[in-house]
Amino acid sequence: MTMPPPNHRVATEARPSSTIQSLTLTDEQRALRDIARSFLRDRVGTDEVRRIMATDSGHDPAHWAAVAGMGWQAMAIPEEHGGAGYSWTEVAVLFEEVGRAVAPLPLLSTAMATAVLVDHGTDDQRATHLPRISAGDLLVAVAVPVDDAPAPTLVDGRLSGTVRHVVDGAVADLVVIATSDGAVLVATDRTGVSVTPMDVLDLTRPQAELAFDDVEVADADRLAGSADDVVERARIVGAVLLANEQVGLAAAVHEMGVDYATTRKQFGRAIGSFQAIKHLLADNLVALEAARSLAWHAARVLADDDVEELGIAVPMAASRCNETAAKLAADNIQVHGGIGFTWEHDAHLYFKRASSSRLLFHTPSWWRARLARTLDL
Partner 1 sequence: MSQATSNDVRTRLDFAIDRLLADHPPATTEPAAFWGAQFDAGLAWVHHPEARGGLGLSPRWLTHVRERLATAGADQSNVRFNIIGIGMGAATLVAHAPDAMQDRMLRPMFTMEEVWCQMFSEPGAGSDLADLATSAVREGDVWIVNGQKVWTTLAHISRWGMLVTRSDPDAVKHRGLTYFILDMQADGVEVRPLHQITAEAEFNEVYLDDVHVPDDMRLGEVGAGWSVAMTTLMNERVAIGGGVPPRGSGAIADAVAAWTNHGHDDPVLRDHLVELWIEAEALRLTSQRAADARTAGTPGPEGSTAKLHWAELNKDVTTFTMDLLGADGMLYPGGYDLHAPEMGVQPAQTPQKAFLRARANSIEGGTSQIMKNILGERVLGLPGEPRVDKDVPWREVPR
Site for partner 1, rule CB under 8 A: 1-16, 19, 22-25, 258, 261-262, 269-270, 272-275, 277-279, 281-283, 285-286, 289-294, 296-297, 312, 315-316, 319-320, 365, 368-369, 371-372, 375, 377
Closest CB to partner 1 among residues 9, 54: 9
Q: Give min distance, CB of 8 to partner 1, in A.
A: 6
Query: C-alpha angle with apex 146: 365 to 108, nearest 5 degrees?
Result: 95
User: Counting beta carbons within 10 angstroms of the beta carbon of residue 8, is it exposed (0 to 12), middle (13 to 18) or buried (19 or more)?
Assistant: exposed
Q: Give min distance, CB of 316 to partner 1, in A.
A: 5
Q: Give min distance, CB of 15 to partner 1, in A.
A: 6
Closest CB to partner 1 among residues 129, 292: 292
Closest CB to partner 1 among residues 103, 243: 243
Q: 126-145: string of b/e by CB count within 10 Å (b at 16+)?
A: bebbbbbbbbbebbbbbbbb
What is the residue-wise DSSP string for 44-60?
S-HHHHHHHHTSSSS--
Closest CB to partner 1 among residues 231, 287: 287
Closest CB to partner 1 among residues 307, 377: 377
Closest CA to 193 of 170, 168, 220: 170
| H/E run at residue 196 | strand 193-197
| Alpha-carbon 283 to chain mean position | 24
Q: Give min distance, CB of 371 to partner 1, in A.
A: 5
| Alpha-carbon 3 to chain mean position | 43
What is the residue-wise DSSP string for 364-377?
HHHHHHHHHHHHT-
Q: Give min distance, CB of 362 to partner 1, in A.
A: 14
Length of the chain: 377
Q: Give min distance, CB of 342 to partner 1, in A.
A: 24
Closest CB to partner 1 among residues 85, 337: 337
